[in-house]
Structure 1
Amino acid sequence: MNSRSKLDVSFLTWNIYQGFDVLPLFNPSLTPAQLPQVVTQVFRQFLATNFPVRAKAIAKAIASEKPDLIGLQEAVRVNLIIPTFRTVTYDFIEILLEALEERGLKYEVAARNNNAEAELPDSNENLIQFLERDAILIRKDHKLDVIRKQEAKFKTNLTATIAGQPFTILRGWSSIDVKIDGQVFRMINTRLDPSVEAIRNAQALEIIQGPAKTSLPVVITGDLNAPPNSSTYNLFITAGFKDTWNKVGEGPGFTHEQKPDLLNAISTLIERFDYILFKNGWEPLEVEIVGESQNDRTNTGLWPSDHAGVSASLHLEDHHDHHHDESSDECSS
């Protein structure tokens, strides 16, 4: 009916790294008196990993693929609130959109989930505000029409402590239903808990039993914080998802992880944590890792992120029975 190429859709998933190692903040022995100094130390690392510079390297790698849809994780917003001056904002999504635009690529935010939020004092009488986010970007292109979006927080999340105070590390997911050539598919983007398997599995099940429970063709992009054949990964496989890398990838496909300061001389990617999963009528065509080679680094030596990205092209088979399947199986968010 339609020419094959019309129903090829390209996806890219990338954890673009919030820019600092969060562990010093969650050190169990950290006291309220020590907190401002640790916040300053963490913020200095955030500045040193220079997202405005990294965004140009990330945009360059994305430009080599020109995906239709991008799932971003750790697309944070950080505010440095200087009371006597002004607020300096680092909005990773806006910074990346501008870097893409400089390369002639126009993307916009199709969905975004706001996750954990914190506001902490530094040792310079300033406040640091932090908002963790994941986002789906869509190429401004007439062939893709977003007809529905969902944005949600997980019900199960890890609670840790910052300087003796409990802090819940909220995470979530977002999804969009996209119409292309009269067909509708769903894309879900997420990042699961990195530290506790039981919580990570509960979050995976919220997706599997929520937005992924549909007869629409589905793609999940995300940082699952779990390697292939782990219990988390196997939950998705058992639910009928296929792993694009396993189907058409070559080599180990490692995506995780570079050192927190992003200056390690030799790549330290030794695990696969980042995935493009699919089910219900997709055929994977090709997949590759992006942002993993030495020439992807910034001119100041930084890796683009502590993760590599995954880029794939999938063919959507023309199933008429998927055309009008938009109401029967929805979960509310």
Structure 2
Amino acid sequence: MALTGTAWAGPAAVPPVEPQHLRVMTHNVYLGASLAPALAARTTPALLAAVATIYAEVRATDFTVRAEGLAGEIARESPDLVGLQEVTTWTTTGPGAGPSQDFLAILRQALDRRGLHYAVASVSPGTDVGPIPLAAPCASTTVGTCTLRLRDSDVVLVNERTPGLHWSAPRHGLYQARQTIPLPAPGVPPVELVHGWASVEAKHHGVSFRFVTTHLETEQFPAVQRAQATEFLAGPVAGPGTVIAVGDFNSAADGSTTDTYQLLTGRFRDAWTEASPGGPGLTCCRSADLNDPAAPLTSRIDLVLLDGAAAARDARVVGAEPFRASRPRYTSDHAGVAATVGWRRPAG
């Protein structure tokens, strides 16, 4: 891909996929900024400054630019089903407040420009913060004239041009286990970090399965994360039949952070280890500004999990390299994972 200032080497060729096999992908697309400054604020002035800083970083990590890189990844990998996390809408109000950004609409436009046809099959709303006062940019000095709101979601996309693939019964849900963080501003309610899941029922050349995407709480709140994983196992992936579960599970596969990975793989097989592609498969995490060309990935928390008739034929990390020479250099602070799935029994 030729890029401003530099031509980056393209990724390795995608392995050929047999017609009876399925290609799936997961990617946390990144909300565009770290929320840590706002969550750590202890005074109202500090909170207002933090919100302005967060929005400035969202604009600097411009999703309109990143969506082109993400659409390029999807075009190269040609997945049949995609699970996306942190698909965010940033809504601004007030004079001079700057543009709102709807990540899903922006990504769909980027896909359309490549002639790709992905249906938005299921959406799960998550964390919803605001409206909260936005001090800058704002053409007024009156606090509250300009506001900022964040709404997060998980999304399932389905390739409408995959032969033999049919989907139905979109569902979504939210976990009861949640972390709540108070904010030090009069009239501003505590932030509730809400996570959930989205799913579809599907059939591929006669083989039925459920495809589910989710995003669990971070390792900073391990008890909440584990409780959400327990809800996940007892809810959207429970019962008979084949399940392909993808997402940002926020638990390092090497056990160095939380034990949630071990809990999940007590039920599921990890496509990365089953396919044995070699290498550590690291997917997390880049610096928040997406501007460090040499930032290392240090953990494997983005997973494709399989059970029942599904079996991994190959797996690969996608989006680990810069896609352009200037900020934002990366499509996300996470890399994604793509896997080819075959079936352990004949169709039907």
Q: Which residue of 2 aligns with 1:176?
A: 200
Secondary structure of residue in 1 paired with 2:74: helix
CA–CA separation in structure 2 for the residues paired with 1:312 and 1:159? 35
Q: Which residue of 1 aligns with 2:182?
A: 161
Q: Which residue of 2 aligns with 1:51?
A: 63
CA–CA separation in structure 1 for the residues paired with 2:166 and 2:150? 32
Equivalent in 76, 83, 86 of residue 74 of structure 1:
86
Secondary structure of residue in 1 paired with 2:231: helix
Letter in 2 for 1:90: Q
Q: Which residue of 2 aligns with 1:223?
A: 248
2:116 pairs with 1:105:
yes
Map of 1:249-268 to 2, 5 A cutoff? 249-268=277-296
Q: Which residue of 2 aligns with 1:214?
A: 239
8 Å contact kept, 1:267–1:292: no
CA–CA separation in structure 2 for the residues paired with 1:297 and 1:245? 27
Letter in 1 for 2:230: L
8 Å contact kept, 2:246–2:305: yes
Letter in 2 for 1:313: T
Secondary structure of residue in 2 paired with 1:33: helix
- Identity rate, percent: 28
Equivalent in 45, 48, 62 of residue 36 of structure 1:
48
CA–CA separation in structure 2 for the residues paired with 1:272 and 1:162? 32
Q: What RMSD over aligned residues (CA atoms) do the two structures have, in Å? A: 1.9
| CA pair 108-198 structure 1, distance change in 2 beyond 3 A | same
8 Å contact kept, 1:75–1:93: yes
Secondary structure of residue in 2 paired with 1:64: helix
8 Å contact kept, 1:11–1:312: yes
Instruction: List per-residue Cα deviations over 1:257-288 (Å, max 9, x = no partner).
Output: 00000001203211111000000011211110
2:62 pairs with 1:62:
no
Q: Which residue of 1 aligns with 2:23?
A: 10
Letter in 2 for 1:58: L
2:347 pairs with 1:314:
no
Q: TM-score, normalised by structure 1?
A: 0.89
Instruction: List per-residue Cα deviations over 1:179-201 (Å, max 9, x = no partner).
Output: 22232100110010002111101
Gaps of 5+ in 2: 1-16, 139-144
Q: TM-score, normalised by structure 2?
A: 0.85
8 Å contact kept, 2:61–2:328: no
CA–CA separation in structure 2 for the residues paired with 1:148 and 1:37? 44
Greater shift in the superposed pair: 305-314 or 123-132: 123-132
Q: CA deviation at 1:319?
A: 5.5
**Runs of 4 or more off by more than 6 Å in structure 1?**
none
| CA pair 319-198 structure 1, distance change in 2 beyond 3 A | farther
Equivalent in 189, 192, 205 of residue 216 of structure 2:
192
2:121 pairs with 1:96:
no
Q: CA deviation at 1:229?
A: 4.4
CA–CA separation in structure 2 for the residues paired with 1:185 and 1:87? 43
CA–CA separation in structure 2 for the residues paired with 1:187 and 1:80? 34
Q: Which residue of 2 aligns with 1:114?
A: 125
Q: Which residue of 2 aligns with 1:271?
A: 299
8 Å contact kept, 2:318–2:337: yes
Q: CA deviation at 1:6?
A: 4.0
| CA pair 299-86 structure 1, distance change in 2 beyond 3 A | closer
CA–CA separation in structure 1 for the residues paired with 2:325 and 2:313? 30
Greater shift in the superposed pair: 186-195 or 144-153: 144-153
Map of 1:275-286 to 2, 5 A cutoff? 275-286=303-314
Letter in 1 for 2:286: Q
Secondary structure of residue in 2 paired with 1:297: coil
Q: Which residue of 2 aligns with 1:247?
A: 274
CA–CA separation in structure 2 for the residues paired with 1:167 and 1:308? 27
Equivalent in 204, 217, 226 of residue 201 of structure 1:
226
Instruction: List per-residue Cα deviations over 1:126-185 (Å, max 9, x = no partner).
Output: 111110111011111253222212110101111112226522111111111112223210
